[in-house]
Structure 1
Amino acid sequence: MAVDVGDLANRFGWADYAVFGAMLAVSAIIGIFYGCFGKKQDTNEFLMAGKSMTTFPVAMSLIASFMSAITLLGTPSEVYQFGFIYWLIGFSYFLVMPSAAYLYFPVFYKLQVTSCYEYLERRFHRRVRWLGSIVFIIQMSLYMAIVVYAPALALAQVTGLDVYISVSLICFVCIFYTTLGGMKAVLWTDALQALIMYGSMIFIIVYGAVDYGGFEAVWNRNVEGGRAQLIDFDPNPTTRHTFWTLIVGGYFTWITIYGVNQAQVQRYLSVQTRQMAVNALGSTSVGLFVLMITCAFGGMVVYAKYHDCDPITSGVVTKGDQLFPLFVMDVLGHFKGLPGLFVAGIFSGALSTVSSGMNSLAAIVLEDFIKGGFYPNISDNASTWTSRGLSLFFGLLTFALVFVAEQLGNVLSAALSIFGMVGGPLLGVFTLGMFFPWANSIGAFIGEFVSLVFMFWIGVGNQIAKTNHQINLPFQELSIAGCQNLTRIEPTIVPEPIDPGEPLGIFRLSYMWYSATGCFTVIVVGLLVTLVTGKQDVRSLDPRCLSPAVLWFQRWLPGMDGLGADFVDEEVGLKDSKSTSSMGNINPGFETEMPEKAVNGFTPDKESTKL
């Protein structure tokens, strides 16, 4: 039976607004507490929480930071329209977290960087660092705006929440507690918001399944509708979702976030000990898996509810992201306060992503462009206030970009894919530096630039091909046989189909392979350029810049004789005589005691300084 959206919107009452408002109020109070009553904030305290955090808040923040409202709304929509096979991506987390914990994180921990892009200068050159930083700033600024606007738009039609009011509340509450309370406020509000996300999503999905007739009934309905496929070993890289795209491609997609993303690296380095960060990553893999499976099963529950009256085809909603809010208001709207809990959970995802982004962008600009560029001798007090000002600036920029995102219309999904297209090249340049000691800065710069251009060519070409109907998404069959009173549907004249022609084969590449493609493009191009321009002299290379995996197998790798023997830490002003070609002679202090700051202008060899 068709649903009256107007009637559902009227169900969102004062109790729901109270629950939603309470979540915002508690977030603001946390910011006030750490900003006004906590430890006096210097730059380290504001950006890195004074390196005093423990496993629990960091693990919850790692989960919440990129489990945005888009994920919470998009996963049920994905399963409803394309099938349950998307659940396989959850297994990629169990590959990502050990890799992040033991291959990438130790490098950042040894160097004790504030901006992860500082690594690129120590390993390569300042220009490589700046290129990575600029790309990240553009990527994260646009992504934060979309994270705020997309759920506000999706919820507006179904709950009656005004888009501009909800966007304003989210942005300004986030600006308030992030600018006032710094990293500690961000981490503890993330922890609160993650709990709200879990609580609301699990309760709603379990209740919806029981209301339909139980989990078995939901599963059987999806089997009948062709949505219960668990696995597909199709090796074709153009097939949208398979075992390979979701687990292997998913690994590269998520390692860009949990391995080398500034927002996450900043959290790892805010803990008291290295083991706490490793424990947090282990907890995160389990937490993300549970949340992803829960949201995926939510899509099956939504399909069971609307299997014979598709809300999109019948015109009740206009896009897939509105399916889950529609389901919540339809099934739980008569329970006072529960829709408010759902809205609080959805916007908690937005808050956590934006607060993390604001804090990380402030760190990037301060460390990479102010301290690492035109004002290296800035005082700590000035750095602290600059950090606050930058956090405020990026919060206001997010609010302004919301109105740009509003004009994107159908291009909104294309803008979201930018996150994947940019993540691969950034992962590639870090991987090139950590795993290939011979790569030089010229290869890193050219490789990253070529990869960015290549990935944007593929991504934009894919979107144009979709717009021209050269590529059609594999939607599962939807029915409106059980609908009644379909007054929203208007007769349309269907023109004669025109053959749009075939797109270039590379444009059919599954979006789940974007990060892997971008990563390997950097590595291949970077190594080829290095081969032409002259390899890095490993004797002058800081061994801390290499992944532990390289040091484990150092004796079997060619050209590693004398690794770090001539390395000079210019800030300390001493040659590290303990760094030798023998793996056993590499200074054990690299594992635990590192200088708080590293040289900003360090370049390993003459060849790598010429760009």
Structure 2
Amino acid sequence: MEPSFDGWDFAVLIIILIISTMIGIYYRYTGGKQKTIKEYLLADQSMTTFPVAVSLMASFMSSITLLGVSSESYQFGTMFCIINFSYIISTPIAAYLFLPVFYRMRTMSVYEYLERRFGHSTRLAASIAYSIQMILYMGIVLYAPALALEAVTGVSKITAILVIGLICTFYSTIGGLKAVLITDVFQSLLMFAAIYSVIVVSAINAGGLGPIWKVAGERDRFNFTDFSLDPTVRHTWWSLIIGGMVTYLSLYGVNQVQVQRLLSVRNLESAQSALWWNLPILSLLSFSTLFSGLAIFHYYRNCDPLLQGRIQSRDQLMPLFAVDTMGQYPGLCGLFVSGIFSASLSTVSSAVSSLSTVTLEDYIKPLYKRITNTPLHETKSTLPSKIMACIYGLVCIGMAFTAGSMGGVLQASLTIFGILGGPLLAVFTLGLCTTRANQRGVLVGLLLGLIFSFIIGFGGPKPPTPTLDFNVDGCVSANNNTLVAEALTQANNTSFNMVTQQPASEEPEIEYYWLYRLSYLWLSVIGFLITTTAGYGFSSLLEALKWADNKQIYLDNQQIDVDLFIPPLARRLRNNHTEEMTKL
């Protein structure tokens, strides 16, 4: 790919980055000027529903999502859109079962719940796992778009990483959560602009949306009806809905990033409304990004860029499309690149804010109290939070540079993000939905869940993922270049057949272990089930053997603390206690 970035494009990109920076500066010098920890980490609980709803979507819809979901429909078809049904099913669970508990507690760190329910060891184990997860993910979120867009802008990925990382660190550090939320809204608009610029330009080239739909249908990109019960099938209704539910609840039900945003609104009803408004925004981005992949497929329907040798990964399809089609429209390529960068900015800023909160609440405050025997005063908490936000931003930049030499670890790091979600969701579920679970049992369950998840996630060898057909018939005739023909011949001889994507040579078929053939969507489900089953089972066993107590869930007067449980269970416990008191 040759860079296709002119002065107008650079001007658009620079203006948009300046706007993100100015938002942070504005909120640093307005309102309470971020002097209290409540204003800095919870936006003084003054946010309205809409910006929080948009931020909920933007927090985990990174550039990896925009680039990856478009290549998903390009390579595998539209089956992935079924995951939106899991969002519909999971939203009321998060809004009406999980969220009321955290909102009653009004805690800065979601992991404080685990200490009140089980004990300090559980809180520490969960928060450490979360911190590792987010640090790794932040580096990838910065590195992936810098790598993919280096060819588009002509700017080295080192420069891109530094610019995005430093700007994000700056406005996250000085402006607090309120600056992060408002910039998320601005950056979300740019994310949609990037996606729709791809769709509109493709429609112009194709002569309308009709030809895009027609080619997608003719080339089997429309597939919505795989109801297979085989767990080794990559995408089915069952894997997308069940796996999607576990993933959604681990992100929107018990994740520090999202709970911190939901606690920034005025009341519980507004927080629940924000979750519901997040649903259509999230689904709109999902469907739009999937369709953009079909639009890109129409453009390259007769000459796949990967087989042609123009790109190294199909995650680079969207930037390549921008290079090939948007140069004739002044500033449009800059707007597209700004949208991709904005997706990274919103995710990294969210992670920086949440990690500084976890560090303050789970590490610094307990350590300060242990050393001085006095709690850290609120007025003295803001500065450590800002320092930690700055440090995590710099760590993020460092991880992005390290990612360049990791090779396959990039894929491994993304797998970690999914693997940890299931077991951590199970720990919260055991606390919220059962009274029998205790600290020792839950820790055993968490350990077993993580071990099995990591074995399945990183074990191998794993079979290659079969893709749909691609065509290269138009490459040689369109370019009249013998080098293209030689590249295609080499690709055919060394790796895959250009049309069927099956191995060209008849080598002995490899036998893959059944667990390693499982769809990636089942990994979080397996981690959740193992942690839940083992945690509850060991808790019951330890309680029977009198090796564990459950005193964490009781108040000083021995009345059970119903605020630690989901509303239906809390009501039942409260009614049981009332009946017992009546009998007395």
Q: How does 1:367-446 map to 2 (within 5 A)?
A: 367-375=361-369, 377-446=375-444
Task: Quote the Cα distance in structure 2 between the aligned partners of 1:13 and 1:28.
Answer: 23
Alignment match, 2:20: 27
Determine what percentage of the aligned residue pairs are the same residue.
Answer: 42
Alignment match, 2:473: 481
Alignment match, 2:531: 522
Kindly provide the CA deviation profile for residues 312-360 of structure 1, in whole angstroms up to 9, marking residues without a partner as x: 0010111011101111221222111011111111111100010000010
- How far the C-alpha of 1:498 sits from its partner, in A, is 4.5
Kindly provide the CA deviation profile for residues 141-195 of structure 1, in whole angstroms up to 9, marking residues without a partner as x: 0100100100110111234232111111100000110100101111101111111
Task: Quote the Cα distance in structure 2 between the aligned partners of 1:374 and 1:504.
Answer: 50
Aligned-partner residue type, residue 529 of structure 1: F
Q: Please, which runs of 5 or more residues in structure 2 have no aligned partner?
A: 496-504, 544-548
Kindly provide the CA deviation profile for residues 539-590 of structure 1, in whole angstroms up to 9, marking residues without a partner as x: 65421110113235x3xxxxx5886x6xxxxxxxxxxxxxx46899xxxxxx
Alignment match, 1:572: none
- How far the C-alpha of 1:374 sits from its partner, in A, is 4.2
Aligned-partner residue type, residue 515 of structure 1: S
Q: Secondary structure at the match of 2:461?
A: helix
Alignment match, 2:164: 170
- Name which of 227, 231, 234 aligns with 1:237: 231
- Name which of 332, 343, 346 aligns with 2:337: 343
CA contact (8 A) 2:5 2:152 kept: no
Aligned-partner residue type, residue 430 of structure 1: F
Say whether 1:213 aligns with 2:207.
yes
Q: Which moved more, 1:198-207 or 1:496-505?
A: 496-505
Task: Quote the Cα distance in structure 2 between the aligned partners of 1:290 and 1:78.
Answer: 16
Q: How does 1:100-499 map to 2 (within 5 A)?
A: 100-375=94-369, 377-461=375-459, 464-466=460-462, 471-484=463-476, 485=481, 487-488=483-484, 489-490=486-487, 492=490, 494=494, 498-499=507-508
Task: Quote the Cα distance in structure 2 between the aligned partners of 1:581 and 1:389.
Answer: 51
Alignment match, 2:564: 545
CA contact (8 A) 2:25 2:175 kept: yes
Task: Quote the Cα distance in structure 2 between the aligned partners of 1:170 and 1:531.
Answer: 50
- How far the C-alpha of 1:43 sits from its partner, in A, is 1.0
Classify 1:374/1:458 alpha carbon distance in 2 versus 1 (closer, same or farther; 3 Å). farther
TM-score (norm 2): 0.91
Classify 1:448/1:581 alpha carbon distance in 2 versus 1 (closer, same or farther; 3 Å). farther
- How far the C-alpha of 1:196 sits from its partner, in A, is 1.3
Classify 1:111/1:405 alpha carbon distance in 2 versus 1 (closer, same or farther; 3 Å). same
- How far the C-alpha of 1:500 sits from its partner, in A, is 6.1
Classify 1:411/1:81 alpha carbon distance in 2 versus 1 (closer, same or farther; 3 Å). farther
Q: Secondary structure at the match of 1:272?
A: coil
CA contact (8 A) 1:144 1:354 kept: yes
- How far the C-alpha of 1:118 sits from its partner, in A, is 0.4
TM-score (norm 1): 0.87
Classify 1:270/1:311 alpha carbon distance in 2 versus 1 (closer, same or farther; 3 Å). same
Q: Secondary structure at the match of 2:307?
A: coil
Classify 1:231/1:328 alpha carbon distance in 2 versus 1 (closer, same or farther; 3 Å). farther
Aligned-partner residue type, residue 435 of structure 1: C
Task: Quote the Cα distance in structure 2 between the aligned partners of 1:512 and 1:453.
Answer: 17
Q: Secondary structure at the match of 2:306?
A: coil
Classify 1:47/1:165 alpha carbon distance in 2 versus 1 (closer, same or farther; 3 Å). same
Task: Quote the Cα distance in structure 1 between the aligned partners of 2:579 and 2:63.
Answer: 49
Kindly provide the CA deviation profile for residues 104-138 of structure 1, in whole angstroms up to 9, marking residues without a partner as x: 11110011110000000000010000000000000
- How far the C-alpha of 1:403 sits from its partner, in A, is 1.6
- How far the C-alpha of 1:299 sits from its partner, in A, is 0.8
Q: How does 1:77-92 map to 2 (within 5 A)?
A: 77-92=71-86
Aligned-partner residue type, residue 14 of structure 2: G
Q: CA RMSD in A?
A: 2.0
Task: Quote the Cα distance in structure 1 between the aligned partners of 2:306 and 2:392.
Answer: 36
Aligned-partner residue type, residue 29 of structure 1: M
Task: Quote the Cα distance in structure 2 between the aligned partners of 1:22 and 1:38.
Answer: 25
Task: Quote the Cα distance in structure 2 between the aligned partners of 1:173 and 1:522.
Answer: 39
- How far the C-alpha of 1:437 sits from its partner, in A, is 1.4
Classify 1:486/1:406 alpha carbon distance in 2 versus 1 (closer, same or farther; 3 Å). farther
- Name which of 508, 515, 518 aligns with 1:509: 518
Task: Quote the Cα distance in structure 2 between the aligned partners of 1:341 and 1:329.
Answer: 13
Q: Secondary structure at the match of 2:308?
A: coil
Alignment match, 1:577: none
Alignment match, 2:502: none
Task: Quote the Cα distance in structure 2 between the aligned partners of 1:200 and 1:43.
Answer: 35
Classify 1:227/1:344 alpha carbon distance in 2 versus 1 (closer, same or farther; 3 Å). same
Alignment match, 1:15: 8
Q: Please, which runs of 5 or more residues in structure 1 have no aligned partner?
A: 555-559, 566-579, 585-611
Q: How does 1:557-596 map to 2 (within 5 A)?
A: 580=578
Classify 1:416/1:581 alpha carbon distance in 2 versus 1 (closer, same or farther; 3 Å). farther
Classify 1:486/1:219 alpha carbon distance in 2 versus 1 (closer, same or farther; 3 Å). farther
Task: Quote the Cα distance in structure 1 between the aligned partners of 2:247 and 2:81.
Answer: 15
